[in-house]
Structure 1
């Protein structure tokens, strides 16, 4: 299958190692992966700020870049959800509709499309999993704890395939970290307090690494951890799933 790799702009600019890990992981699992060089921001920041009418050129460019692929995969639940729910192009609406149906967040793609049952990975650490809101409530990557329903978590299922990973329990496993895009700017104090609460929950249970499916949330938590000099590392889930056993042995 031919996969178009969608790398959100903040990953490209600040966390390129996440994009590289995503590419390598997909290739290891047998995908033919291409990275369209002309891609830019998907338009989510503008849309979330009430300026969706200014995202038309972003939408048209996204359709141009990704319409030819069997699947589009990105390591960001929030950006993938934006495309899935808001991508429209009056000049190419048929192609836009096809993209909305074929775009997947990374862990969603691994579990639902590739149906991965094992990974040749090793990461001997105590890991706390942050369930980001867009992924959980928008893409159904995991069950919401307030529902009386069977629990599930696609990211957790994948992490359990990694040798050496010890997932730590959390008191509030699906509580928002407070990032919320522009919310962390307009409501800075509330955002920081929510982030501190999430960090405290992970620290309380002995996490050495905090992981998740959204770099935006992880970036928020990482900033708080650095200011507290907590000594806890933050890694996107793609980086952990891509930790090959041979690489660990040689490091």
Structure 2
């Protein structure tokens, strides 16, 4: 059996068209995965009408078949970038080979793709874009690796014990130098470790409010704290605020020249 016989037997079915039918060979523009860039596919296709009572005219049959072949072809072509012309050609022969109905019409069609091409300049541009993306990905991976190394190095420089241990792992034959290396890492830590600033305590913040020279601010703070303590049943703490309240009153009298109250005379 020759190739032609094998081909016809492989794709023939009960609705297959006549074997000796002359195909229509066309150049189809097929969309690619790259927006607005197209393949040109050299495709031959055959047409057959499976229903004898609903046969359209011959011109309509070819138009319907061409539409069906184009839709089937673009299901493949839109999955690939413009540089994959040979892959698209091979895939098209798999998809277009069998007879398939076109939509709801009685027309069936099958095809064969001889070649797939694309504009060489556009192919070169897409290939360059692919190379650029690959390079950017490699650069990104390298930068991530360097950032990880920097974080690890910072951690080691601020931890003399770990730094010394790593050094000893890389230099197992230099045990006699471990003490000197450890001292060096300790000195590095003392230089590089960020200075720790004492955190502000709540008590210190309250003290600043109660001893401020701004009388209105101090009076407001005392009043607010009293209400807060009393709302939680802490009369003892509210009573302690009386000292600051008395100090505020004394300061006000001294400024106005008013006499001190009898109970404080």
TM-score normalized by structure 1?
0.19
Larger helix proportion of the pair = 2
Structure having the higher Rg: 2
TM-score normalized by structure 2?
0.18
Higher relative contact order (CA 8 A, sep 6+): 1
